[in-house]
Structure 1
């Protein structure tokens, strides 16, 4: 799905976006060196990309194992009825559960797919039984435990 860009991206803007996605902690001086501009226009371009909304935020990617989050799952959710009231009710409830780190409205046999992260299987089970399955508009849940992750890129391809 393509949306209209309000900002025209040239080759330099694309390079800035690629670099910042890979290393958001890069200094302006280093970034300017890599794209071949002096620091002032480099900073100006980054600010333009931020204010346009193309750059939404900067995040630190944490090591889930090192912070004690050993279980990641995808959960397919089917609602009791696919109508605006049920969708709004579900989203209101799901947004309050911090262990649900992603929520996507999908096509196919389910209505939503969640990415859930928990300390261990017992914590995951408790979360599902006491929170997610207790949302009144939820009809069914299908869990898929992630055994291993071989690619977890947050770098988006920048269309030409």
Structure 2
């Protein structure tokens, strides 16, 4: 599906996402028209989902990040749907993942400080439907986070 030129374009896009199209075309060794055509094709094929900004949460005052591992009461037929719908409404929940196994879901939650997290935990998170068990893992450090793919 992807040829060497596509991979080269994607590598340069990952390395410098804010680069102008003319710069990207030059680095990838293609014309601006070819770059535009290839980017359109990659978007149409679902390879490129879009361009986004990455916000450094601590710069906005969010100093605490917690990962919650949640086990749901699976005797309830709508446990997953109801839980996910409720979790989506909490603005501080920045990621929701579901799993097969002893843990059903994981929430990534940000808070300004521990007092904010504690209030959020008691007033919003513990009130989510169908929770059978919940375990909080406080993040101490992010050792590696890489969204770029090896192309």
TM-score (ref. length: structure 1): 0.87
The CA distance in 2 between the partners of 1:157 and 1:93, in whole Å, is 35
The CA distance in 1 between the partners of 2:81 and 2:112, in whole Å, is 28
| Gap runs ≥5 in structure 2 | none
Counterpart check, 1:85 vs 2:78: yes
| Gap runs ≥5 in structure 1 | 1-7
Deviations 1:50-102 (A, max 9, x none): 22221112221122222101001111011111665111111111111121111
Aligned to 2:120: 127
The CA distance in 2 between the partners of 1:140 and 1:114, in whole Å, is 13
CA contact (8 A) 2:76 2:130 kept: no
Counterpart check, 1:96 vs 2:89: yes
Aligned length: 151
Output the aligned Cα RMSD. Answer: 1.6
Deviations 1:13-65 (A, max 9, x none): 11222222232211111111111111110111111112222111222112222
The CA distance in 2 between the partners of 1:82 and 1:76, in whole Å, is 19
SS in 1 for 2:78: helix
The CA distance in 2 between the partners of 1:79 and 1:17, in whole Å, is 39
Matches within 5 A, 1:35-46: 35-46=28-39
SS in 1 for 2:106: strand
Q: Looking at secondary structure, tell me which structure has more helix per residue.
A: 2
CA contact (8 A) 1:82 1:111 kept: no
2:63 to 36, 47, 70: 70
Quick check: 77-86 or 144-153, which moved more?
A: 77-86
The CA distance in 2 between the partners of 1:61 and 1:68, in whole Å, is 15
TM-score (ref. length: structure 2): 0.91
